[in-house]
Structure 1
Amino acid sequence: KRAEGVARQPGGPDSPKLEVRFAPAILSFIPMVWGDYWVIDLDPDYRLAAVSDRKGDYLWILSRTPTVDQAAYDALAKRIAAQGLDITKLEATPQR
Structure 2
Amino acid sequence: MIYIKWIFNLCLLTILSGCTTGKPTNVEPITHFDVNRYLGQWYEIARLDHSFERGLDQVTATYSLNPDNSIKVINRGFNSENQQWQQAQGKAKLVNQPNIGHLKVSFFGPFYGSYIIFALEDDYSAALVSSYNYDYLWILAREKDISPELLHRYLALAKQAGFDTNKLIYPQQ
Residue number among 66, 88, 101 corresponding to 1:4 in the alignment: 88
Greater RCO, CA 8 A, separation 6+: 2
RMSD: 2.1
1:86 equivalent to 2:170? Answer no
Matches within 5 A, 1:54-73: 54-73=132-151
TM-score by length of 1: 0.71
Q: Which has the higher helix share?
A: 2
Runs of at least 4 residues of structure 1 off by over 6 A?
none
In the TM superposition, residue 5 of structure 1 has moved relative to its aligned partner by 4.1
CA separation in 1, counterparts of 2:143 and 2:96?
26
Q: Which has the higher strand share?
A: 2
Q: Which has the larger radius of gyration?
A: 2
Alignment match, 1:52: 130
Specify every segment of 5 or more residues in structure 2 that has no aligned partner in the other structure, as ranges: 1-55, 57-76, 78-86
Q: Percent identity?
A: 28
The answer to whether the 8 A contact 1:37-1:51 is kept is yes
In the TM superposition, residue 53 of structure 1 has moved relative to its aligned partner by 1.4
Alignment match, 1:37: 115
Alignment match, 2:103: 18
5 and 87 in structure 1: CA distance in 2 versus 1, 3 angstrom threshold:
farther
TM-score by length of 2: 0.44
Matching residue's letter, 1:53: S
Specify every segment of 5 or more residues in structure 1 that has no aligned partner in the other structure, as ranges: none
The answer to whether the 8 A contact 1:42-1:76 is kept is no
The answer to whether the 8 A contact 2:113-2:132 is kept is no
44 and 89 in structure 1: CA distance in 2 versus 1, 3 angstrom threshold:
farther
Number of equivalenced pairs? 88
22 and 59 in structure 1: CA distance in 2 versus 1, 3 angstrom threshold:
same
The answer to whether the 8 A contact 1:43-1:76 is kept is no
CA separation in 2, counterparts of 1:68 and 1:90?
15
